[in-house]
Amino acid sequence: MLPVLISLLAGLVCASAPQAEEELVVLDGAALQAVLVELGASALVEVSGLGRSRGGRAIQTLKLSSAVGDETARPAILVVAGLDGPHAYTTSMAVSFLRQLVAGYGRDERITSFLDSTTVYCLPRLDVDGAAARFAQPLAEVMGTGRGIDNDRDGLRGEDPPADVNGDGWVTRMRVVDPEGEWIIDPADPRAMKKADRAAGEVGRFKNYGEGYDRDGDERVAEDAPLDAVVNRNFPRNWTENDGAAGRYPTDEPGVLAMCDFILAHTDIALVLAYGDEGNLVGKPETQKDAGPSERGSVVTGIFEEDAKVYAELGKRYRKITDNKSEGLGEQPGSLQGWLYHHRGLFTLNISPWAVPLDAKAKTEEGGDEDEQGALLKNSKTSAEQDDAESQDDSPEASDDSKRLLWLDQNGIEAHVPWTRFDHPELGEVEIGGFKPYALVEPGPARLAKITAVHFEHLLSLAELLPRPSLNLIELQDLDSGLFEVSVALSNRALLPLFSRAGERSRTGSPVQVHLDLPQGAELIAGSLRTLVHGLEGAGGRKELRWLIRFSGAGSGAQIRLESKHAGRTKVALEVN
């Protein structure tokens, strides 16, 4: 299978025109490496090593840039995918973007213009260890891949990991009848579990565990995995102390430290796209007012209101192109996304590409009529399910898991392992079942290809939104005796401002420099040879700069240059008669 896949991917790299794939699969490490080798053969692509993971696996980045003009005079977009193991499928999206850019350059006008004006950096997979777990057997969703700790403080470490207790090849869930349990079987769908709502008179009947053992006898199951630190919870922003998932200290994980170093070294990055579990383009992200001078030490909990206006417009355009309904999570403690915005001041588009829809009335993708909820509950029930369903007097709203199951059923996706009795060595009689690993995360090959196609369109639309300030000569007035007044307008017609409000507050970005270059014999009377511009609004932001210059005679050679590390370069000549 792997040689066929590699051959297919290589053919796509060398295709005569960019074509959206009909199906995209999740790439394992070997397949990803093969694609990077093929991409690296292109003159447009530079593949570099970012570092190695805790598990010793290589983390790599790619740079796409055309040879037209000065590549140092362009803003850059950074695409980050594979932020954690369960979202390993987003790597396939990023790789598809790269293939289409390479195949389309020189053949597709939009792609050619995009790469001639914008540099693209891509980190297709940050959590390489988590992605490797995606292809291990038995299949389990793995978040923690970094340093392990003694989670239950019993002097042992990793003694109770999640495990495939019944040997069916999946690590799912276990439910155990217990008078202290807080869970019930959802009356809307006996395959789903929900927490009992005591206020509504619901009485808990089950304890709900991850599948595994209680080898240390502390009545806690699958609570102590050998590895705990989560890569995308180990960044400095809002890092959580005394939390195994956060790591021992910020940037303790090698991949996280390497990523931070990469960001610090690449000051041309003007915008970041991060594909993972967080989202700020579909739902409304948390916002807050900017702190005044007396509140500079206050804790920043959300996006600043001025930036939120920009994000709102970015979200509007994103939804129009992709029609994505997945809101994703809000900013998580220690995430890359939060660090990029709050600490580095970078506009970061957090994208959760897909989630199982919760609308139980959704129609199938083939356009057929929806099934009635009751028609989906004809599965045979265990005795526990029958007893629990009969004990409920009313029919409360279906749980989210029940709604997910309805949508999955309507689309013919077998995502659930039936609950099956099992004699557990420590717990006695249990039932093992639940959603298959990755069933609620991965959209499937055909759907992933469609999602990737619209997100590639979104990527191409972003180049025109990047700040690219221009210089326009307003006035070159001869006052008398070789004395000239020079007026220049610095303007930004793009949507994004020169710096985000977070960037202005953190002072992490380098200001734009406007240089006045004078020929020999000219004298600057008023103004500065170098002017620093610390901010310029988007969508028509404008500033005027003025100088008084005495020229000794007619000639040329005077010019005004604009230089920016993340917004390009430009210049305007001063012709004196």
Higher local confidence (pLDDT), 295 or 31: 31
Query: Percentage of residues in the chain with pLDDT exceeding 90?
Result: 70
Query: Of 523, 485, 486, 511, which Cα lies nearest the Cα of 564?
Result: 511
Q: How confident is the model at residue 96 (pLDDT cuts 50, 70, 90)?
A: very high
**Cα-trace Rg, the chain:** 28
Same fold, 2-134+230-289+299-355+443-465 and 470-576: no
What b/e sequence results for 306-326 when a residue is b if at least 16 CB atoms lie within 10 Å of its CB, and e otherwise? bbbebbeebbeebeeebebeb
- Residue 257 C-beta-side C-alpha neighbours within 13 Å: 12
* Residue-averaged pLDDT of the chain: 87
* Residue 8 neighbours by CB distance under 10 Å: 11
pLDDT at 12 over 90: no
Q: Are 245 and 130 in contact (CB under 8 A)?
A: no
Paired residues of 390 in beta bridges? none
Phi, psi for residue 430 in degrees, rounded to 5: -135, 175
Higher local confidence (pLDDT), 144 or 99: 99
**Per-residue pLDDT, 293:** 44
**Per-residue pLDDT, 186:** 95
pLDDT at 385 over 90: no
Q: How far is it, in rounded angstroms, from Cα 439 to Cα 416?
A: 8
Instruction: Tell me what the mean pLDDT of segment 237-253 comes to.
Output: 93
Q: How confident is the model at residue 17 (pLDDT cuts 50, 70, 90)?
A: very low
DSSP 8-state class, residue 340: I
* Residue 470 neighbours by CB distance under 10 Å: 14
**Residue pLDDT, tens place only, 25-34:** 999 999 999 9
**Per-residue pLDDT, 73:** 75
**Residue pLDDT, tens place only, 408-460:** 999 999 999 999 999 999 999 999 999 999 999 999 999 999 999 999 999 99
Query: Of 562, 548, 571, 551, which Cα lies nearest the Cα of 475?
Result: 548
- Lookup: tokens for 468: 């690219």
One-letter amino acid for residue 140 of the chain: A
For the chain, domain boundaries: 2-134+230-289+299-355+443-465, 151-226+381-439, 470-576
Q: Which of 2.120.10.30, 1.25.40.10, 2.60.40.10, 3.30.590.10 would CATH assign to domain 470-576?
A: 2.60.40.10
CATH of domain 2-134+230-289+299-355+443-465: 3.40.630.10
- Lookup: tokens for 303: 């996006």
**Residue pLDDT, tens place only, 469-493:** 999 988 889 898 889 999 999 999 9
- Lookup: tokens for 457: 């369109």
**Residue pLDDT, tens place only, 46-71:** 999 999 999 999 999 999 999 776 66
Question: Whole-model pTM?
Answer: 0.88
**Residue pLDDT, tens place only, 107-164:** 999 999 999 999 999 999 999 999 999 999 999 999 988 887 766 676 667 677 899 9
Q: How far is CA 302 from each of CA 285, 330, 501, 534, rounded to the nearest angstrom?
A: 7, 10, 12, 23
Query: Percentage of residues in the chain with pLDDT exceeding 70?
Result: 86
Q: How far is it, in rounded angstroms, from Cα 563 to Cα 571?
A: 9
pLDDT at 464 over 80: yes
